[in-house]
Homo-oligomer: A and B are copies of this chain.
Amino acid sequence: MKEKIRVGLIGYGRAGQAVARVLGKADGIALRWIVKQKPASEINQATAPAPIHDPAGLQSGALFDSLPVDVVVDFSTAAAIRKYGREAAARKIAIITAISKYPETSKALLVRLAQETAVMNSPNITLGINYLLVASQLLQHIAPFTDIEVVEEHFRDKAERSGTALRIAQTLGLDESKVNSIRVGGIVGRHEVIFGFPFQTVRLVHDSISREAFGTGALFALRKLYQRPPGLYTYESLLREAMKEALQGDQDG
């Protein structure tokens, strides 16, 4: 019988809770614990998909020893990695962190940790969005003569431009002016990459329905990262690899 991948989740805000709901029900995954910053008493232990611990055990490594895991998934804050990083890496626990903006010192820490264990950091951990990013690059490679623009739509109060849209533009070598931002009502999140050929148009569109999409994305990443050699991985690199497998498989078949 195949062993389950044992997972610890750090961060239990709105995104963390959505991820916990998905990991708690996923095939082949044992969600062993959740670490929450604020006192655990504030939230409902009974409805959580795994026992909730406070952060103290992370820094000492005690939690890793009492309830061993194969992968930690971090949806908390930029500060957390400095507390648990070394203890996790020393135990060869793979690290997946969805933190958007690490300070330079933490980025350097990730590089050091990656010498001991598999580390992946990605600001957007959604599977569909990362697919959009790589699939767009493939189409641009095949049809370099196309014009490309990006449209991102979000709820009225999202002040800044979508980091994902900017990342797509950057990856495709587009000027930032090619990112069109729509802010209306309660749209959860929509990204569209439009490829204009002279006589045809191709559109790649991603619609977010809810935060649980981060869970589906984390699931893909942790299955791919499980039992990997040490190193710094990106979501895109995992996706590219899976695509190469698919292209290879088809050719052989």
Residues of chain A at the chain B interface (Cβ within 8 Å): 22, 126-128, 131-132, 135, 137-139, 141-143, 146-149, 151, 153, 155-156, 180-188, 194-213, 215-216, 220, 237, 239-240, 242-251
The reply to whether A202 and B200 form a contact with Cβ atoms under 8 Å apart is no
Enumerate chain B residues within 8 angstroms of A131, measured Cβ to Cβ: 138-139, 142-143, 202
Enumerate chain B residues within 8 angstroms of A180, measured Cβ to Cβ: 151, 180-182
Enumerate chain B residues within 8 angstroms of A249, measured Cβ to Cβ: 141
The reply to whether B185 and A126 form a contact with Cβ atoms under 8 Å apart is no
Enumerate chain B residues within 8 angstroms of A250, measured Cβ to Cβ: 137, 240
Q: A147-B185, A184-B194 are in contact. Are A202 and B132 (CB under 8 A)?
A: yes
Q: A203-B205, A240-B251 are in contact. Are A184 and B146 (CB under 8 A)?
A: yes
Enumerate chain B residues within 8 angstroms of A206, measured Cβ to Cβ: 200-203
Q: A240-B251, A247-B138 are in contact. Are A153 and B184 (CB under 8 A)?
A: no
- In the complex formed, the residue of B with least CB distance to A210 is B199
Report the separation of the CA atoms of residues A220 and B144 in the bound assembly, to the nearest whole angstrom.
11
Enumerate chain B residues within 8 angstroms of A182, measured Cβ to Cβ: 149, 151, 180, 194
Enumerate chain B residues within 8 angstroms of A208, measured Cβ to Cβ: 199-200
Report the separation of the CA atoms of residues A48 and B153 in the bound assembly, to the nearest whole angstrom.
32
The reply to whether B203 and A187 form a contact with Cβ atoms under 8 Å apart is no
Enumerate chain B residues within 8 angstroms of A220, measured Cβ to Cβ: 142-143
Q: How far is the CB of A208 from chain B (nearest CB, A)?
A: 5
The reply to whether B201 and A184 form a contact with Cβ atoms under 8 Å apart is yes
Instruction: Give the one of A142, A147, A153, A247 with max B CB within 10 A.
Output: A142
- In the complex formed, the residue of B with least CB distance to A140 is B246
The reply to whether B184 and A147 form a contact with Cβ atoms under 8 Å apart is yes
- In the complex formed, the residue of B with least CB distance to A198 is B186
Q: A147-B183, A185-B147, A244-B247 are in contact. Are A153 and B194 (CB under 8 A)?
A: yes
The reply to whether A205 and B202 form a contact with Cβ atoms under 8 Å apart is yes
Pick the residue among B132, B148, B181, B247 that contacts A243 (CB under 8 A). Answer: B247
Enumerate chain B residues within 8 angstroms of A212, measured Cβ to Cβ: 198-199
Q: 10 interchain pairs (CB within 8 A)?
A: A128-B195, A131-B139, A131-B202, A142-B243, A147-B185, A186-B198, A186-B201, A199-B216, A200-B216, A203-B205
Q: A202-B132, A213-B200, A239-B142 are in contact. Are A246 and B137 (CB under 8 A)?
A: yes
